[in-house]
């Protein structure tokens, strides 16, 4: 479903059995008969990160390509990964013969893992293939941790002050880009808009950066929906946006007629449901303060063994400067990612 994921059918498709690569002659003629595919695959092995699943690495064609690329690129090789089921004793019969077969298979697998490192392929051993969905889920979560969602709105500014809040949001947007993260925002009044401006300024200062890769902007569309239909639409809209992030920053959070913006609170609930990491700047007040208060009581549920109460309290300290607040935000992000 992800457009950034490519699935290769190197050796054919069951729907076209006459083209299946199955014997030695087929392998030897592969590069000649499929030059476009060969070049595309070699190019992707250089530019993209591969995850090999259910792969024995006994394929002579792939081994040739990896060796060819290794000799061309020398030390400048792309890192790839493989998931394999670990050889375990239960796979073999009991007795002396079974024990010898187990030791042989265990040593053979270890040598294969060491050999794969020559091609910059790192191997993860699992006990059971049922673990693969969990591993893939964790990879997806880590990938999305590069995306930071900025939630909040500010019709009024409280003790924090308008000028300071706008500058904080601007600097947060700039620092998200500067530190190699990507900004996701829904254009919250005086929060998202300023964060976007900070991010854009950082992007434009580096000609190599592309806006479409660093910013995911989702302004809430104007619709004629009302009541339950509108509420359900907005919830789905928020879920889709937050699902593509790893962290959710909460700044202020009020609107006309709502001292605590319910939309911001809904985004907090969605972040919890989707196992994203909320980071509320409590000192900015309103919804963010309410979120900070809730998290402070059960901090371990949100940051198990990673973020101390001392660090978290910096987010609610009105005496901390904007620079100190931003430093705390990325200290929390670094601790969670590590």
Active site residues: 11
Cβ neighbors of 153 (< 8 A, separation 6 or more) are 188, 189, 190, 191, 192, 252, 253, 254, 255, 261, 263, 264
The helix/strand/coil state of 40 is helix
Six-digit token pair at 87?
């050889």
Listing DSSP states for 193-241 in one string gives HHHHHHHHHHHHTSTT--HHHHEEE-PPPP-S--HHHHHHHHHHHHHHH
With tokens 């901090």, the residue in question is 299
CA angle 280, 281, 286 (to 5 degrees): 90
Task: Answer left, alpha or beta for residue 9, where phi above 0 means left and psi between -120 and 50 means alpha.
Answer: beta
- Nearest C-alpha neighbor of 258 from the set 155, 139, 109: 155
Cβ neighbors of 140 (< 8 A, separation 6 or more) are none
- Say how far apart CA 251 and CA 171 lie, in whole Å: 13
- Nearest C-alpha neighbor of 335 from the set 309, 297, 313, 303: 303
For residue 259, give the H/E element and its range: none
């Amino acid at each position: 479903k992800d457009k950034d994921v490519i699935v290769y059918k190197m050796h054919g498709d069951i729907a076209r059995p006459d083209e299946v690569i199955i014997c030695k002659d087929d392998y030897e003629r592969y590069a000649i008969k499929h030059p476009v595919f060969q070049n595309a695959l070699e190019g992707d092995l250089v530019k993209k990160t591969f995850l090999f699943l259910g792969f024995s690495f006994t394929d002579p064609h792939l081994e040739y390509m990896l060796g060819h690329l290794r000799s061309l690129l020398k030390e400048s090789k792309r890192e790839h990964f493989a998931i394999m089921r670990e050889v375990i004793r239960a796979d073999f019969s009991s007795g002396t013969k079974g024990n010898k077969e187990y030791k042989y298979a265990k040593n053979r697998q270890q040598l294969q893992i060491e050999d794969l490192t020559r091609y910059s392929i790192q191997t993860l051993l699992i006990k059971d293939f049922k673990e693969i969905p969990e591993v893939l889920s964790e990879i997806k979560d880590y990938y999305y941790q590069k995306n930071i969602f900025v939630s909040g709105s500010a019709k009024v500014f409280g003790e924090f002050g308008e000028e300071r809040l706008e500058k904080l949001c601007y600097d947060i947007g700039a620092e998200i880009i500067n530190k190699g993260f990507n900004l996701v925002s829904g254009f919250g009044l005086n929060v998202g808009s300023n964060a976007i401006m900070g991010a854009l300024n950082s992007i434009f200062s580096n000609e190599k950066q592309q806006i479409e890769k660093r910013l995911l902007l989702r302004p809430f569309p104007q619709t004629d929906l009302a009541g339950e239909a509108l509420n359900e639409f907005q919830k789905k809209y928020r879920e889709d946006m937050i699902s593509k992030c790893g962290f959710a920053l909460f700044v202020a959070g009020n609107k006309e007629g709502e001292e605590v913006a319910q939309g911001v609170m809904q985004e907090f609930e969605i972040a919890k449901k989707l196992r994203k990491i909320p980071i509320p700047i409590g000192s900015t007040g309103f919804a963010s303060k309410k979120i900070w208060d809730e998290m402070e009581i059960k901090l371990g549920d949100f940051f198990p063994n990673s973020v101390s109460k001392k660090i978290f309290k910096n987010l609610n300290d009105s005496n901390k400067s904007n620079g100190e607040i931003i430093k705390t935000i990325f200290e929390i992000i670094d601790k969670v990612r590590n």
